[in-house]
Amino acid sequence: MKRTLNIETVKKIGEEVLLKGWVGSIRSHGKLIFIDLRDFSGITQVVFTPKMDEKMYSLVSEIKPEYIIEILGEVSERPESMRNAEIPTGLIEIKAKEVKIISKAKTMPFPIDNDGYEINEKNRLEYRYLDLRRDRLKRNLKKRFETISLMRDIVKEKGFVEIETPILSKSTVEGAREFIVPSRNFKGKFYGLAQSPQQYKQLLISAGYEKYFQIARCLRDEDPRGDRQAEFTQLDIEMAFPDSEEDVMSLMEEIYIKVVKEIFPEKHITQIPFPKMTFKEAMEKYNTDKPDMRKNKEDKDELAFYWITDFPMFEWKEEYKRWGACHHPFTLPQETDIDKIKKNPKDILAHQYDLVLNGFEIAGGSLRTHDIETLTACFEVMGHEDEDLKKQFKHYYNAFEFGIPPHGGIASGIDRFFAVALNEESIREVIAFPKTGDNKDLMMASPSNVSKKQLKELGIEISEDEE
RNA sequence: GGACCCGUGGCGAAAUUGGUCAUCGCACCUCCCUGUCACGGAGGGGGCUGCCGGUUCGAGUCCGGUCGGGUCCGCCA
């Protein structure tokens, strides 16, 4: 007999069904026993009485919470007074005829039938596979999937093509610290894990893939925060021949408006079209480049999207005593006079824009430089020696020499969006297997030691003295 | 790299100024219960208070260190 999902039972009153799932609460009244059976679709109440087969009935007393069981029974409408309006299947219940225990379960180390906010995260992360059983995380991850699915549909409709780019990439001096991966074939050399698909997507543009997108995994070896993980997901977009920044911004805007309308209908957006503010104005008025522009901060359902534009091109990096890119080195300066760029880096603005939501930066993008002279000037400002630069970005320069159209794009950190949209304080609540504040995976106990053999193959020695 | 917060049975919390205070709820085990849906009732087991050291006649309660978790700054092109 084919299995019926819990949610489908309401359509099968009077029919015999086979249900499979996890045991939730068990309410025994002696002879009459109720079990809430849980599957991915929802919960159904199953009733056991002594009328059923004697052997089967005695088996019921062995069932404990979180056992996985199979129920053969009849869907029956509940008498008026016994209906439960709280659950979608509250109108019916299953009169059990047969029961089978498929998998037993130890007692859970912490409750999973609540939201789990009060449980120490150490425990939740160590037993993440149990933590994921709770409704809150199921709901979050379902919404996450629905949103990503819709995002794909929207950009696909507009002719964008999703292309996967390498995770195993190259380490570069600019940007976030990368995780590095030792090469076995070339001892002493390392890959860098991609901190974003930035260069790849620009090269795809040069190759004529005019509208690119990717639900892309990015990795950065920086210290995490409540809104940051070493490993996170971006909706990454790039397009050739944009008429202006507006082309990119309006696309991202359209995506988020649709997502809110269809996936989060209970939410309302403060202002459409999304208002714009220059970086200068934001810093002067709010002393931050990601101001929280909600009108009523008590309102859980308010989403205040805001564009911050006209970022400076360069910023002084005190640590290295040189100029660095405010966004990234490929950003197109608003100044076309190369001499001015070199002479007054601090005054140069960039064609760069960030999307802010309730005080969180949820997207950042720019038009990119597409002529070698400007690109070279920018690198010179940032103090890279010419030779050094050519080595680092050789492929990039070469590609430019073969021609690349004007282009621009944006990347949206969707974990952050989900955290805000799902009223979660931390993005860990919208990621299935997140890591701790020092990038440990408590469940897998990673990072971990590797064998001497593995190290030898890689030509790596671990020094004994750790200072 | 830095600052701050937290650490009591499986989970969550409580223990006046350091002195029978290791308590409560949930969970767990046993028994009773035919209409519950956070079922109800009776009884029971389980901790020496993250770890190490110090102060004190005496520390869960004070001090130092350490380990673990969190928040923030740095960092995050």
Q: Where are the domains of chain A?
A: 6-103, 128-311+350-370+405-430
Three-state secondary-structure class, residue A100: strand
Superfamily holding A128-311+350-370+405-430: Bira Bifunctional Protein; Domain 2 (3.30.930.10)
pLDDT for A380 equals 85
Query: Mean pLDDT over all residues of chain A?
Result: 93
Annotate A323-352 with DSSP letters as a single string: EEESS-TTBPBS---HHHHHH-GGG-BBSE
Least confident of A79-88, A210-219, A316-325, A439-448: A316-325
- Using a 7 Å CB cutoff, list residues 171-190 of A near strand B: 174-177
Three-state secondary-structure class, residue A394: helix
pLDDT of A404 higher than 90: yes
Kindly report which amino acid residue has its CA closest to the C1' atom of nucleotide B77: A175
Tell me which of A313 and A173 has the higher pLDDT. A313
Position A381: which residue type?
V
Superfamily holding A6-103: Nucleic acid-binding proteins (2.40.50.140)
Q: State pTM to two decimals.
A: 0.94
pLDDT of A321 higher than 90: no
Sheet holding A211-219, edge to edge: A161-162, A211-219, A231-240, A407-413, A360-368, A352-357, A305-309, A276-278
pLDDT for A256 equals 98
Res. A466 pLDDT band, cuts 50 70 90:
very low
The separation, in Å, between residue A65 CA and nucleotide B47 C1' comes to: 25
pLDDT of A465 higher than 60: no
Which of chain B's bases lie under 7 Å from a protein CB? Answer: 1, 10-13, 26-29, 32-40, 68-77
A73 forms bridges with which residues in the sheet? A17, A96
Percentage of residues in chain A having pLDDT higher than 90: 85
pLDDT for A386 equals 60
Which residues are within 8 A (CB) of A58 and not within 5 positions of it... i.e. 6 or more apart?
none
pLDDT for A387 equals 65
pLDDT for A291 equals 94
pLDDT of A464 higher than 70: no
Mean pLDDT of A355-375: 95
pLDDT of A467 higher than 60: no
Mean pLDDT of A303-329: 87
